[in-house]
């Protein structure tokens, strides 16, 4: 899943760099040493925010229209693109327990080969959903 959110970049007052706010994600604030670092940090912070929401069973908030945002004079609005599937694969921590039923002969064959049914199921699901 790809999501796009507006982010507001403000030059830091005390040092070089930028502070970044993602207004649609309450409390999602980060900073970077320069504009490139600030963009990367904002993508990481927003992706983590969204992943936490998804793992808690919530739907991500709808993105605002950048034109509707109120920004201070020195603020710069830019869109950030979040690859939530890639982020979840790398950093996702929650696992969901599922009870599945398989034929006894498949269970016996899997045990003889030392296969992890959880791993096999995860690999098959990733292939089926295109991850």
pTM: 0.71
pLDDT of residue 125: 87
Residue, of 88 and 21, whose pLDDT is higher: 21
Helix (H, G, I), strand (E, B) or coil at 67: helix
Domain residue ranges in the chain? 2-91, 95-131
Q: Which two tokens stand for residue 106?
A: 């498949």
**Mean pLDDT of all residues in 81-94:** 85
**Mean pLDDT of all residues in 62-72:** 92
Its CATH architecture, for the domain 2-91, is 2-Layer Sandwich (3.30)
* pLDDT-wise least confident of 46-60, 72-86, 91-105, 108-122: 91-105
Q: What share of the chain is helix, strand, coil (3-state, %, to 5)?
A: 40, 20, 40
Residue ranges of alpha helices (H) inside 28-116 are 35-55, 84-91, 104-113
**Mean pLDDT of all residues in 111-130:** 87
93 half-sphere exposure, CB direction, 13 A CA radius: 5
Residue, of 131 and 122, whose pLDDT is higher: 122
């Amino acid at each position: 899943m790809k999501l796009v959110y507006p982010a507001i970049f403000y030059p830091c007052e005390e040092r070089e760099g930028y502070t970044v706010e993602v207004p649609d994600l309450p409390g999602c604030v980060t900073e970077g040493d320069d504009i490139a670092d600030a963009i990367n940090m904002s993508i990481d912070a927003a992706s983590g925010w969204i992943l936490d929401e998804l793992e808690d069973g919530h739907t991500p908030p709808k993105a605002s229209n950048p034109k509707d945002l109120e920004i201070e004079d020195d603020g710069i609005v830019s869109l950030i693109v979040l690859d939530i599937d890639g982020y979840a694969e790398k950093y996702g921590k929650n696992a969901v327990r599922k009870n599945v039923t398989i034929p006894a002969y498949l269970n016996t064959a899997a045990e003889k080969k030392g296969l992890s049914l959880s791993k096999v199921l995860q690999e098959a699901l990733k292939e089926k959903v295109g991850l």
